[in-house]
Amino acid sequence: MDTKDQILTAARAAFDRHGPEGLSMRDIAKEVGITPMAIYRHYENKQALIDALVLDALGEWSRRAEAIPAGAPLLFLARIGEAFLDFALDEPRRFEAAFLIHTTKARRYPDDFIAGHSPAGTLQLNAITQATADGIFADISPGEILVTIAGLAQGLVSLHRAGRIAGGEEEFRALYRRAMRRTIESFLKEKSP
């Protein structure tokens, strides 16, 4: 592992322990065994290191999303929603880095997703577009559907992380699944009675 990768690994561990507030260039350099000034040969400043953590976390989310088996559009949307929930609950700090840290590297809805800059977003957008083409979804902008589904998922997870939703993890998972199912069903061309 080269020095830059060692720095990123040490930064990820510090971020996992203390969040973004706990990132200290001096402490990370010490952990890697380099001088505090040497870290700046690899990362221009603390923001550049945070940006690298964001991209690393987004990469992990993309790997998880790309591992989801293809299937019918509605089944795929349910699976990717579940994978998002698992990522948020299993790796809360990486989720935070991927979706909650302010950075210029963050992907913006819907433009970056429509432009294909998010592998996971592109997979979702493709499923939504297919559902619309197949007459499953009403004729609504796929980008708007994507933003609605993603916003609900991230909003619910954020409320749960902040302790704003009563109950334990299993109750939250059940609530999340019901809300996602109802939201996806709201876009159906033919609504169930």
In DSSP notation, 20-78 reads GGG--HHHHHHHHTS-TTGGGGT-SSHHHHHHHHHHHHHHHHHHHHHTSPP--HHHHHH
Which residue has 């159906």 as its token pair?
188
- Determine the pLDDT at residue 108: 80
pLDDT at 88 over 90: yes
pLDDT greater than 90 at residue 111: no
What CA dihedral angle connects 163, 169, 185 and 112, to 10 degrees?
Answer: 60
Structural domains in the chain plus CATH codes:
1-43 (1.10.10.60), 57-186 (1.10.357)
Beta bridge partners of 188: 137
Q: pLDDT, tens digit, for every residue of 8-47?
A: 999 999 999 999 888 999 999 999 999 999 999 999 999 9
What distance lies between CA 148 and its chain's CA centroid? Answer: 15
Distances in Å between the Cα of 38 and the Cα atoms of 22, 48, 56 are: 20, 14, 22
Residue where the block lists tokens 């809300």 = 179
Give which of 63, 62, 60, 23 is closest to 43, Cα–Cα.
23
Collect all residues with Cβ–Cβ distance below 8 Å to 133 and sequence separation of at least 6: none
Which of helix, strand or coil describes residue 163?
A: coil
The pLDDT score that the predictor gives to residue 149 is 96
Give the per-residue pLDDT at 5.
96
Above 90 in pLDDT, residue 115?
Answer: no
Residue 161 has pLDDT above 90, yes or no: yes
Asked whether residue 192 carries a pLDDT value surpassing 70, the answer given is: no
Mean pLDDT of 132-157: 95
Contact between 78 and 184 under an 8 Å Cβ cutoff? The reply is yes
The answer to whether 122 touches 76, Cβ cutoff 8 Å, is no
Mean pLDDT confidence for 139-152: 93
User: Given pLDDT bands bounded at 50, 70 and 90, which one contains residue 188?
Assistant: very high
* pLDDT single digits (tens) 46-69: 999 999 999 999 999 999 999 999
Average pLDDT score, the chain: 93
